[in-house]
Amino acid sequence: MTSSQKIVTRFAPSPTGKAHAGGYRTAMYAWLFARQQGGEFVLRIEDTDRTRNTPEAKDDIYEALQWLGLKHDRMYIQSENLERHGEVLQQLIKENKAYVSNEESKDGSGLKKDVIRFRNPNKTVTFIDLIRGPITIDTTDLGDFVIARTIDDPVYHLAVVVDDHDEGITHVIRAEEHISNTPRHILIHEALGWSIPQYAHLPLVLTADKKKLSKRKGALAMTDYAKLGYLPEAVFNCITMLGWNPADPGSEREIFSVSELIERFDFERMQKSGAVFREEKLDWFNREYIKLLSSADFFAHATPFVPLWVAKEELLKAETLLRERIAKFADVAVFFEEHEYLFREPPVDSAMLVWKNETLDKAKVHLATLAALLEGTVDWSGEGIKTVVMPYAEKEGKGSVLWPLRVALSGKEKSPDPFTIAEIIGKEKTLARLSMW
Ligand code: GLU
């Protein structure tokens, strides 16, 4: 690479399933580096594994990239380059750098079929990984590895090298699991007389129990986070920090805008060991980004999750509570489901009003007394209400008074304390719910 050369990175997902945080971190780094360097970011759909590709997975990739704001400058579908891959295979065969080998098929059928193998020069390959430094691998053990099933059916190793070369990729940024593939790719580049890109192999993304993050381990697809109402900026910020720390030395800052991430991006501060992805951490980031939203933006995000029965003015009144309670906007739906009684008269089961071994009559007496006490209350704040209720509750027994009060207001076994509920629903509704017994 010469210093004047334009930097070109790529994200090369295989559309075989919905990708999760680990896959998209690769895309984010490739994009950040290209943006920082004034280069280009290429999206390549590596769809040569015909048996495992699905159109849904491809659409899912487009949707996730768009949601994250990872716009590509160029895009390729690998299967559209098959002719070119075939040409390169022919060239390698003609130059005796690859050969057709008739072999027993691995499917156990006993049938013989042709494969194309690369003539391995059996040498030691060294490359400088941008994160790990020099990596040396003896390729002898790889033997003459397979590069195509037939002329028009190349395997990944051949297709990736041809495409990286033809698309002018200068930096291959990809997952650690590809380290062992890189010597193969370098050998093919060399056999074709092509310049070798720089490589950066990213540390693994792990689950909390230090296993590789995967769908089987419960990782959500990136598009699931979109559906759950996470903010893309929060997800972006959280995921870029898995294994990389852009903060100034000694600083514990964690919130960085996309433009700050572009400015600060580097390989030097990337760790080599795996990085743990925790959903609680993502929730923390999302809460921080929700705090930054204006009311208008907050409601724009919340609205799709608000049940139809919630009136607009009730929704507006709930803003503070919602902001305190939600980690992601899907929690808005859960909030209203669990707190419906704040907005509508709850059905109250009279048996539930009874405290321990007491009677319903006793509960009714308490509720009537409380209604009378609260009728004259001027300070309708949680504290003000508590000041009026507590002397009576302490005299009669706290559970005996506070339990039926809370149940009468919420209809639920569990809820916030009755003073908070009374404050939120207001004096009129509180008195009505107490007097109906
Ligand atoms: N298609 C490969 C994958 O999804 C990536 C290949 C590469 O980045 O070189 O793992």
12 lines ligand 1 (CB under 6 A): yes
Q: How far is CA 90 from the centre of its chain?
A: 42
Averaged pLDDT score across all residues of the chain: 95
Write a three-state SS string for 418-429: HHHHHHHHCHHH
Domain ranges for the chain? 215-340, 344-435
Q: How far is CA 173 from the centre of its chain?
A: 19
Q: With bands split at pLDDT 50, 70 and 90, how would you rate the model's confidence at 2?
A: low
Place of tokens 């230090």: 210
Token pair of 262 as six digits: 């572009």
Ligand 1, residues 11, 24, 156: which to mutate, most atoms within 8 A of Cβ?
156
* 398 Cα: distance to centroid of ligand 1 (angstroms): 64
Is 345 in a helix, a strand, or coil?
coil
CA-derived radius of gyration, the chain: 31
For residues 233-240, give the mean pLDDT: 98
Which residue from 171, 126, 151, 128 is spatially nearest to 36, judged by alpha carbons?
171
Is the predicted pLDDT of residue 287 greater than 80, yes or no? yes
Which residue from 25, 3, 39, 46 is spatially nearest to 168, judged by alpha carbons?
39
CATH level 3 topology of 215-340: Glutamyl-tRNA Synthetase; domain 2 (1.10.1160)
Q: With bands split at pLDDT 50, 70 and 90, how would you rate the model's confidence at 3?
A: low
* 86 Cα: distance to centroid of ligand 1 (angstroms): 20
27 lines ligand 1 (CB under 6 A): no
**206-232 tens-digit pLDDT:** 998 888 888 777 789 999 999 999 999
179 lines ligand 1 (CB under 6 A): no
Is the predicted pLDDT of residue 6 greater than 90, yes or no? yes
Pairing verdict, β 171-175 and 198-202: parallel
> CA 81 to CA 434: how far, in whole Å?
74
Token pair of 267 as six digits: 């390989």
* 76 Cα: distance to centroid of ligand 1 (angstroms): 14
> CA 170 to CA 404: how far, in whole Å?
71
* 367 Cα: distance to centroid of ligand 1 (angstroms): 67
* 157 Cα: distance to centroid of ligand 1 (angstroms): 10
For residues 334-340, give the mean pLDDT: 93
**250-265 tens-digit pLDDT:** 999 999 999 999 999 9
pLDDT-above-70 percentage for the chain: 99
Ligand 1, residues 11, 18, 20, 46: which to mutate, most atoms within 8 A of Cβ?
46
* 265 Cα: distance to centroid of ligand 1 (angstroms): 22
174 lines ligand 1 (CB under 6 A): yes
> What DSSP string describes 169-218?
--EEEEEGGGGGGHHHHHHHHHHTTPPPPEEEEEPPEE-TTSPBP-TTTT
**63-113 tens-digit pLDDT:** 999 999 999 999 999 999 999 999 999 999 999 999 999 999 888 888 999
For residues 34-48, give the mean pLDDT: 96
> CA 186 to CA 194: how far, in whole Å?
9
For residues 347-357, give the mean pLDDT: 96
The domain 344-435 having CATH identifier 2.60.40.3120: the answer here is no
Is the predicted pLDDT of residue 1 greater than 60, yes or no? no
